[in-house]
Structure 1
Amino acid sequence: MPPPDKKSTEQEETLSASTREEIQAILWKATDKLRGSVGPAQYKEFVLGLIFLKYVSDAFDEHRNKLAKALAEDGVPDDRISDFLEDCDEYTSAHVFWVPEAARWSWIVANAKSQGVGKLLDEAMDAVMRGNAALTGVLPKIFNRDNVDQKRLAELVDLVSDARFGNNEEKLAQDVLGEVYEYFLVNFARAEGKRGGEFYTPQSVVRLIVEILEPYEGRVYDPACGSGGMFVQASKFIEAHRGRSHKTDIAVYGQESNERTWRLGRMNLAVHGIDGNLGPRWGDTFADDKHPDLKADFVMANPPFNIKNWARDEGDARWRYGIPPRNNANFAWLQHAVSKLSDRGTAAVVLANGSHSSPRIEAEIRQAMVEADLVACMIALPPQLFRTTQIPASVWFLTKDKSPQGATRLDDRRDTTLFIDARGMGEMVDRTERNLTETDLAKIASTYHAWRGTASAREANLAYQDESGFCFSADIATVREHEYTLAPARYVGVGSPGALDPPAVPRSGPASLMKDLYAIFD
């Protein structure tokens, strides 16, 4: 008996997949068909662009079928129904992307063999961008190039054809695709190692920031937005707490310096139904601020750690607390975040732990920021949250106003900073990666909310108190005694030994040791 046809077997697996996880795993495995045919730098853009096109087509068909059914029930004649079904406004008014006929997945599949799949895909991407202003310049047109194996691409199109993003009884096409898109982003970040950190922040870190900031409404800004994970999580937070109809209560603004990552971010916002402003194009936040007049209610950022040779201008008005050094942009990111805050805004910036106690110029800036009463909270994160780097990290929470803020009725925390040492938290999901658990996230966020006296803390009857080894509320005199060092371990006291010492990492020899050293000093 001849062996089963591989393509047919994979298609049968996809069609028989009954869960989101099964579909995701099969699609991820299928993308290996293009590995080696497409360069690593283009790979994720290539695959995610293809999945995005399938999604917009499925979502379009889903709405088209509902529209046709509703019109028929209303007694509209068949010839008039056809006119309505091809009316762009019937889709855009329902926040569904308009998909011209030549970009619909059924057309691509039907004509792929006769006209060439790569050519049809590039034309489809172009047609969707022309039909939707929000997608102008976003979708990749890289499928009909000489280096792309058209046979493998056709096989991948066959498999993606069987992934159903629409007509799902339990979830909208947008939600299904959003989950698949995030799954692929996570896997691409893992596959790319250190470079993956350029476009992806671990979900538990993003969730921690969002759970603490509680961005229910207002302007949300990320100056190093990568693929837009902060915005997606903020939207999910609002939906979970106030419902899908309130997702538009925030306006999102971002900037990204890498062209391909900027495109991924815009696609990510689109598949999650977020109308975000990531600027007219990509650009360096320090050299070419795309939102120069923005004042945000929330700033959320995970910028690249310890970057050297950045676009430093000593006369930049953002350096109110001191000119950052040439060899490290950490305090440039912090001051940029402060410059973007509204009068009562709050920022969360993830930085390497070296920012706690770095000497000389950074020490002077840190002192100036403390004396200006900008530092609300410092959280030391557990090790190994970031698969892409071994550098230990913390989150800086900054605000211009620690007063009760009138009707907001917060606790008065002027000249006070909360320190949280969460290094002993989290659980390993595999040999190299740790996640913060739901319990961890709840404890850290509720500690901050109790300290600040937020509405959510009052509703839960939470009252703040110091906890040895975990949290401490320090007045500015205490911070001065520590010479403005902001490492939480200096303030919270001694907890369990495991909370203060990172876990041992097995090494296989000198090469591994050198790799660790490079990670620390990079």
Structure 2
Amino acid sequence: MAPVGFEDKVAFVWKVADKLRGTFKQHEYGAVMLPLLVLRRMDAVLAPTRDEVRSKAHEHPEGRPGREAILERAAGHRFYNTSRFTFSTLLSDDKNVAANLRDFVTQLSPAARRVIEAYDLDPRIERMDRAGLLYAVLADFADLDLRPSVVSNEAMGYIFEELLRKFSEMSNETAGEHYTPREVIRLMVDLLVSGPTAVELQENPVPVRTVYDPAAGTGGMLMTAMARIKELNDKAIVNVAGQELNDETWAIAQSDLMMQDIDPGRMRNGNTLTQDAFATEKFDLILANPPYGVDWKAYANPIKDEHARLGDAGRFGAGLPRVSDGSFLFLQHMLSHMKPGGSRVGIVLSGSPLFSGQAGSGESEIRRWILENDWLEGIVALPDQMFYNTGISTYVWILTNDKAPEVTGLVRLVDAREFGSKMRKSLGEKRKELTPVAIDDIVQLYLGALGESVDDARVKVLPREAFGFQRITVERPLRRRWEVSPHAVAAHPFTAHVGLVGQVFDTEKALLAAAPGLTTAQKKVFAKACAIADPDAPIVTGRGDKIEADPDLRDAENVPLPAGWFDLDEDARLKTLEADAEHHLAAEIHPYISDAWIDHTKTKVGVEIPFTRQFYAYTPPRPVEQIANEIKSMEVHIQTWMKGLGL
């Protein structure tokens, strides 16, 4: 539960932000207010030990080994400030407020200073100073009481996150790039920690859980997961970790950790896919909303190198998706951080990863790898128009390497597309939201997939083989006759054989025997120019009288995988595939094309998840008589109307 009274602090800062109107655009407000809020909290937290820190700083000047650790111990926190100014005293000289604030920032401990610098606050200080706003804004913040005795770390986190949400929604068009709607996060977190996981958390006296987000954005998923775990057990110890590429967004996320006295070093800056900041760590809960359809061509080399060099020992051993969408790179990365003893993974994806890529492609092989390991627990389809910067359909995937025996080999699908409620006011592309009741209903459908939800049309539980198929290549014999036409002779330098025009040959060998003096290359060109497809012609054979296949008649079909196929060993799998393919040939193809055969050397196993097909409900067309009567009724109505107009 949110702490009582935090709304007052939010309202105060929100009111201060209104002073920026005219000097800053609305989408810039957060970039000014949030770092100032962080600075004011630091100022309040460090007040009791400020004199001790300054004294120690004087005794241990910059450059002396161990200085940072000494000052942190003196401050009693993970950060310190050696500036002679506080938020109150920097206002004492109204002519030099900007310089005093800069001194306050530059004298912060290195890690804290990096966070503030990542906000790119300095040019905004300059703009406020030129506009005559800086003093008034800082004076308001100086009046904001953020002492730990008044505002706990938990409350500070709520204040920061609520302001972040409000500023993100205000920006509309840019919010979705780094901000996932709170209700989507809550749904995903509840899917991860409800059911047996919740029972385990509640029964453990002091559970310790690690939570990781490799595309952390502003840190909302980590904070929501931590808060939800503590709701289930207030004695729980939750250790979070995250990585974010965008500098300013990383600063926001790191600030949120600092506001709650969590080591800000657990939020790393950088590209997760090329520089894994937590390469040696495994986590209990892993969740993310990676960017959709982001092209990874610009940094493909290190990813391809890891794939080729490390294979299954690296993060991308299962395969590489097309460079136009790196979603599956993030998912593979997340799965590589699962604990051997059991982890739960949640990821928000667009519809493309469900089915993109043909059998044998990178995407299909990644899906196959996931099902091979039986990691996919379920997928929930969200309503459309849920996100700030896109109206496309999205899906929450839940994966685990610790399935209960009763769900081994099964995948649950939940269609929650109709659970969205229309918002009174749109926020960018976001026009729908999930109410708390809707979230609870979706979670109950998911948890009850094998129980009370089993007869619900919005829930399907399928064996993992239902998403796999073998892509077979169906061949037909090559039938050709060779006829020397004027075109064949005129189009190529074969005028010496003009006397052959009009002659027909049953075999290529007979044709070439009648046209001596050609080089090997010329024979191929001449034979191809004279070849004519003829279903009544003899079958063409090659070496050893092997029937040659006609590439123009080649076809491909999908044959479903049999139940239990993933549980077989490799040899049994191959035999089963061949037997099923031959059965399909005899039952489905030979009654119509008797001379077809399957080239088993070209068979590939593919995996796709046609989610919407599973929930498609056929609506038969209305009776013809009903439609005809409606048309006649409309005609009578139109004639009456025209008659009334005197037409």
TM bracket, shorter-chain basis: 0.7 to 0.9
Distance change in 2, residues 1:146/1:254 (3 Å): closer
Question: Are residues 1:259 and 2:247 paired?
Answer: yes
Which amino acid in the other structure matches residue 474 of structure 1? L
| Separation in 2, partners of 1:495, 1:160 | 61
Describe the SS at the equivalent of 1:291. coil
Describe the SS at the equivalent of 1:290. coil
Partner of 1:51: 37
Distance change in 2, residues 1:370/1:96 (3 Å): closer
Deviation at 1:449, TM superposition (A): 3.9
Which amino acid in the other structure matches residue 373 of structure 2? A
Query: Which has the larger Rg?
Result: 2
Distance change in 2, residues 1:300/1:161 (3 Å): same
Distance change in 2, residues 1:385/1:273 (3 Å): farther
| Separation in 1, partners of 2:84, 2:231 | 37
Describe the SS at the equivalent of 1:178. helix
| Separation in 2, partners of 1:145, 1:437 | 37
Which amino acid in the other structure matches residue 323 of structure 2? R
Question: Are residues 1:102 and 2:84 paired?
Answer: yes
Alignment of 1:105-254 (within 5 A): 105-109=87-91, 111-114=92-95, 116-130=96-110, 135-140=112-117, 142-143=121-122, 147-150=126-129, 151-166=132-147, 172-214=151-193, 217-243=208-234, 245-246=235-236, 249-254=237-242
Are the equivalent residues in 2 in contact too, given 1:468–1:494 (CA < 8 A)? no
Q: Deviations over 1:1-23 (max 9, x none)?
A: xxxxxxxxxxxxxxxxx965455
Q: Deviations over 1:428-480 (max 9, x none)?
A: 3323233222222222233444559xxxxxxxxxx454243322211123333
Partner of 2:334: 337
Question: Are residues 1:328 and 2:325 paired?
Answer: yes
Describe the SS at the equivalent of 2:406. coil
Are the equivalent residues in 1 in contact too, given 2:214–2:288 (CA < 8 A)? yes
Tell me, which stretches of 5 or more residues in structure 1 are unaligned?
Answer: 1-17, 66-86, 405-410, 453-462, 497-522
Deviation at 1:38, TM superposition (A): 5.7
User: What's the C-alpha RMSD, in Å, of the aligned pairs?
Assistant: 3.3
Q: Deviations over 1:180-200 (max 9, x none)?
A: 322221133223334322321
Partner of 1:377: 378
Distance change in 2, residues 1:122/1:381 (3 Å): same
Deviation at 1:379, TM superposition (A): 0.7
Deviation at 1:302, TM superposition (A): 0.5
TM-score (norm 1): 0.73
| Separation in 2, partners of 1:37, 1:178 | 28
| Separation in 1, partners of 2:39, 2:239 | 25
| Separation in 1, partners of 2:263, 2:227 | 14
Are the equivalent residues in 1 in contact too, given 2:287–2:346 (CA < 8 A)? yes
Alignment of 1:378-393 (within 5 A): 378-393=379-394
Are the equivalent residues in 1 in contact too, given 2:98–2:126 (CA < 8 A)? no
Partner of 2:628: none
Describe the SS at the equivalent of 1:386. coil
Describe the SS at the equivalent of 2:412. strand
Are the equivalent residues in 2 in contact too, given 1:254–1:277 (CA < 8 A)? no
Deviation at 1:101, TM superposition (A): 6.3
Distance change in 2, residues 1:230/1:167 (3 Å): closer
Are the equivalent residues in 2 in contact too, given 1:224–1:303 (CA < 8 A)? yes
Q: Deviations over 1:366-394 (max 9, x none)?
A: 23322332211101111222122212211
Are the equivalent residues in 1 in contact too, given 2:217–2:250 (CA < 8 A)? yes
Partner of 2:396: 395
Which amino acid in the other structure matches residue 443 of structure 1? D
Deviation at 1:179, TM superposition (A): 2.6
Tell me, which stretches of 5 or more residues in structure 2 are unaligned?
Answer: 51-70, 202-207, 308-313, 469-559, 562-605, 620-647
Deviation at 1:152, TM superposition (A): 1.1
Are the equivalent residues in 2 in contact too, given 1:37–1:147 (CA < 8 A)? no
Describe the SS at the equivalent of 1:378. strand
Which amino acid in the other structure matches residue 113 of structure 1? D
Are the equivalent residues in 2 in contact too, given 1:469–1:493 (CA < 8 A)? no
Aligned length: 428
Q: 2:276 aligns with which of 289, 305, 329?
A: 289
Are the equivalent residues in 1 in contact too, given 2:210–2:284 (CA < 8 A)? yes
Partner of 1:12: none
Identity of aligned residues (%): 25
| Separation in 2, partners of 1:333, 1:88 | 36
| Separation in 2, partners of 1:186, 1:447 | 28
| Separation in 2, partners of 1:379, 1:89 | 48
Deviation at 1:42, TM superposition (A): 6.6
Which amino acid in the other structure matches residue 274 of structure 2? A
| Separation in 1, partners of 2:259, 2:169 | 22
Deviation at 1:126, TM superposition (A): 2.7
TM-score (norm 2): 0.60
Question: Are residues 1:427 and 2:550 paired?
Answer: no
| Separation in 1, partners of 2:264, 2:380 | 29
Partner of 2:547: none
| Separation in 2, partners of 1:236, 1:21 | 17
Are the equivalent residues in 1 in contact too, given 2:380–2:413 (CA < 8 A)? yes
Are the equivalent residues in 2 in contact too, given 1:479–1:486 (CA < 8 A)? yes
Describe the SS at the equivalent of 2:254. helix
Distance change in 2, residues 1:46/1:431 (3 Å): closer
Are the equivalent residues in 1 in contact too, given 2:30–2:168 (CA < 8 A)? no
Describe the SS at the equivalent of 1:299. strand
